[in-house]
Amino acid sequence: MQLNTYQKSLLQLLTFLLVFAGAMIVIGINRPYWGDEAHFAETIRYFGNEISLNTLKSYNEMSTPLPFVLYALWGKVFGFEIQNLRILSIIIALFTCVSFHYLLFSIFKESIIALATTGFFILNPYIVGLSIFVFTDMLAILFLIICCLAVKNESPALFAIASVFGLLTRQYFAFLTIAAGLYYLFNYQKTRESRAIKMLFSAFLSFLPLLSLFVLWQGPAPDSARKALYMKESFGFHPNSLILYITQFSIYLLPVILFFWKDIYKNKKILITSFIISWLYWVFPIAPSTAAVDANIHTVGLFHKLVRLVLGAQYEHIFFFIFFFLGLPIVLAMIKDCYQRIKSPYLDFLLFIDLAILTFLLIMPFSYLVWEKYFLPVLPLMAIYLLLKYPKQTSPTFVQKKPLVAA
């Protein structure tokens, strides 16, 4: 049987993923608990004993319960030993990578783009860790990718299901659902078509299960000792968190940025504006949250630890200042691009990606914790943004199935 281009590309990816999964099993399956994995495993066993309104109301975590319930159901069948739970993490990671590859191929129709971008995603050190250890982030990224597929294919049912599951995995998933709602609100304003209303309605409905949990909890997280520990600070916007995530644009995506640097840094006005804004770093430098310091955590993640180890605490802020400046032109160009696309008669898939990333930057600084890992959902979105934004570099063949407004 003759394989088509996608099937050949998928076969190559699966070959790599099997080797990758084997390496994860050999290297990580029997390691001691890693970071938050210990209390996650405890919560999974808590749900393994009973899944009820009572356990949903009072479990000792800050995030929504779907991952713990899913791992608990897995544990009931295969056992609650950490090695058995980690097998499910590997399976979720494999599904996430295959889904991302499919999304990329459906957009660009290019095997090399789909394979290279998926490989870049997989080999991020955080993604490697999430592919073996028991954390909740990879499941959220899987639902994010499925939501992107639903928006691209304009499937209200698929979007509603994936968005519900995403919101029940992590509260911050709201950024993507809100972005989709805005995207289809703009669409309806221009087209008055029923398909935009259906997608907008599916985004609205997907919030209902999360809102039901908020009512049950009487707040944004279950009432627990962990909530008492982390929710000491009053609700508000944390500028140093925004600066961290803008800095991560140029750090975590550095190989891709280097490929597109002539396009990203060619606008002199944006560069000058970025240089002026960049001095805000010294007013709101990257620093751990109060809750993290109380827990004896004095960095915002693994990369911060590495920078401090290599450069020392006295020079780390110079390093981050430089990369904050390098990240600003990406964000400013995206804001400009988003504005121009909203004003244009033709709204395309790239506008949705713009809105998703910018909504992330607006919502995440309200989090009680400043943390590098929270940037991970932006990785696949930014990869798609850059590849669509600069098509002359990658020659993508993606065209939206049906223009929302005739150009």
Cβ atoms 56, 68 nearer than 8 A: no
Per-residue confidence (pLDDT) for residue 350, from 0 to 100: 95
Burial class of residue 49 (count of CB atoms within 10 Å of its CB; 0-12, 13-18, 19+): exposed
Residues 106-118 pLDDT 10s: 999 999 999 999 9
**pTM of the predicted model, to two decimals?**
0.94
Distances in whole angstroms, Cα of residue 379 to Cα of each of 41, 117, 184, 375: 27, 10, 23, 7
Residues 142-151 pLDDT 10s: 999 999 999 9
Per-residue confidence (pLDDT) for residue 232, from 0 to 100: 62
Per-residue confidence (pLDDT) for residue 347, from 0 to 100: 86
Enter the tokens of residue 402: 């049906």
Cβ atoms 189, 342 nearer than 8 A: no
Per-residue confidence (pLDDT) for residue 391, from 0 to 100: 66
Per-residue confidence (pLDDT) for residue 95, from 0 to 100: 97
Give average pLDDT by consecutive 10-residue segment, the chain, 407 residues. Answer: 87 95 91 92 95 91 95 97 96 97 95 94 94 96 98 96 98 96 93 90 96 94 78 76 95 88 92 97 92 83 92 92 96 95 89 97 91 94 92 49 39
From CA 177, how far away is CA 206, in angstroms rounded? Answer: 8
Per-residue confidence (pLDDT) for residue 346, from 0 to 100: 80
Element (H, E) at 159: helix 156-167
Helix axis angle, 174-191 relative to 137-153, nearest 10°? Answer: 10
